């Protein structure tokens, strides 16, 4: 995906020295896709800017075969309002180009901290997340949608209590659940799934959280990711879908008359 910047140099994509695609600047100021196929056996891929001002928004490489493609966009210390700062037309074009089957919004931890620090209000949290969900769903109307709430949160405590619970988690979870259900999304309460209040302290004791008491380590992330995966798969199995039931049913045996 490239940005057609006025008076910018052109962009081209090469594999082992062979040009695969070229974007000629038209000065529209809009985002546009630049599709290309990589020859089998290619070892090196280059994106070349022929002149100043050429802008690459992102590169996606994927196989044309069955499987799951996971695109992630994580920004440190971000809340929903940060993503709303992006130009809406570019955001819409990029998301529509990816044509996702499922949108996952995993937010809430930073919102809770901003509330605790007095840098935000509950109404602002609600408005930001609702607007972000609506903007995303409008760009990918054929996608399913899942909002995942914040994990447990702690901070350093005083006296015999080494860790103290952070406030505002319940309020943020309640807001996210209400937004998800009213906007046609599912909601997953990962705070409850991981054990509720005190669960992150147990993660800390088990060495599953970094020293900042906020970000899980690799194995901690694996556990949280598995909770989401298990919930998705259970919901998929439990959902009534005649097509899936037919696919799972044993093959019919031919009758004597048709043999």
The strand pairing partners of 11, in sequence order, are: 23, 49
| pLDDT attached to residue 63 | 86
Which tokens sit at 174? 């309640």
- Residue 250: per-residue pLDDT: 53
> Rounded distance, CA 11 to CA 7, Å?
12
Calpha distance 108→111 (Å, rounded): 5
In the chain, the largest separation of any two C-alpha atoms, in whole Å, equals 83
CA dihedral 208, 211, 213, 216 (to 10 degrees): -30
Residues 6+ apart with CB under 8 A from 138: 92
Long-range contacts of 172-176 (CB under 8 A, 24+ apart): 172/108, 172/111, 172/112, 172/115, 172/125, 173/108, 173/149, 175/122, 175/125, 175/126, 175/129, 176/107, 176/108, 176/129, 176/147, 176/149, 176/150
pLDDT given for residue 252 in this prediction = 47
Please choose, from the candidates 41, 62, 48, the residue with its C-alpha nearest in 3D space to the C-alpha of residue 10. 48
Q: What is the pLDDT of residue 258?
A: 38
What's the token pair of residue 156?
């350093």
Asked if 26 contacts 8 with a C-beta cutoff of 8 angstroms, the reply is no
Structure token digits, residue 71: 């695109």
Residue 181, helix vs strand vs coil: helix
Residue 194, token pair as written in the block: 């991981």
Per-residue pLDDT tens, the chain, 259 aa: give them.
888 888 888 889 999 999 999 988 888 888 888 899 999 999 999 999 888 888 888 888 888 888 888 998 888 889 999 999 999 999 999 999 999 999 999 999 999 999 999 999 999 999 999 999 999 999 999 999 999 999 999 988 655 468 888 999 999 999 999 999 999 999 999 999 999 999 999 999 999 999 998 999 999 999 999 999 999 999 888 876 666 555 445 554 444 443 4
pLDDT of residue 259: 41
Q: What are the chain's domains?
A: 1-37+44-61 (no CATH), 65-236 (3.40.50.1110)
Alpha helices in the chain (DSSP H): 80-83, 88-98, 109-116, 122-139, 169-182, 190-193, 199-205, 218-238, 242-248
Predicted pLDDT at 53: 85
Q: Please list, residue by residue across 138-177, b when 16 or more beta carbons sit within 10 angstroms of its beta carbon and e when fewer do.
A: ebbeebebbbbbbbbbbeeeeeeeeeeebebbeebbebbb
């Amino acid at each position: 995906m490239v940005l057609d910047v006025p008076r910018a140099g052109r962009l081209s994509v090469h594999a082992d020295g062979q040009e695969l695609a070229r974007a000629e600047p038209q000065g529209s100021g809009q985002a546009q896709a630049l599709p290309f196929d990589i020859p089998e056996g290619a070892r090196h891929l280059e994106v070349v800017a022929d002149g100043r001002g050429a802008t690459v928004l992102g590169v996606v490489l994927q196989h044309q075969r069955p499987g799951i493609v996971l695109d992630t966009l994580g920004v440190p210390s971000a809340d929903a309002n940060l993503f709303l700062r992006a130009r809406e037309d570019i955001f819409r074009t990029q998301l529509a180009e990816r044509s996702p089957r499922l949108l996952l919004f995993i937010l809430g931890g930073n919102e809770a901290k901003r509330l605790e620090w007095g840098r935000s209000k509950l109404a602002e949290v609600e408005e930001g997340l609702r607007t972000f969900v609506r903007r995303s769903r409008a760009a990918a109307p054929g996608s399913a949608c899942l909002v995942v709430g914040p994990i447990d949160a702690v901070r350093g405590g005083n006296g015999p209590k080494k860790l103290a619970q952070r406030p505002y988690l319940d309020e943020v979870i309640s807001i996210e659940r209400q937004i998800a259900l009213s906007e046609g999304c599912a909601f997953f309460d990962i705070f409850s799934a991981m054990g509720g209040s005190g669960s992150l302290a147990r993660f800390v004791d088990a060495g599953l959280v970094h020293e900042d008491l906020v970000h899980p380590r690799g194995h901690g992330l694996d556990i949280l990711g598995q909770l989401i995966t298990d919930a998705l798969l259970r919901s998929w199995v439990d959902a009534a879908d005649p097509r899936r039931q037919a696919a799972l049913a044993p093959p019919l045996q031919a009758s004597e008359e048709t043999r």
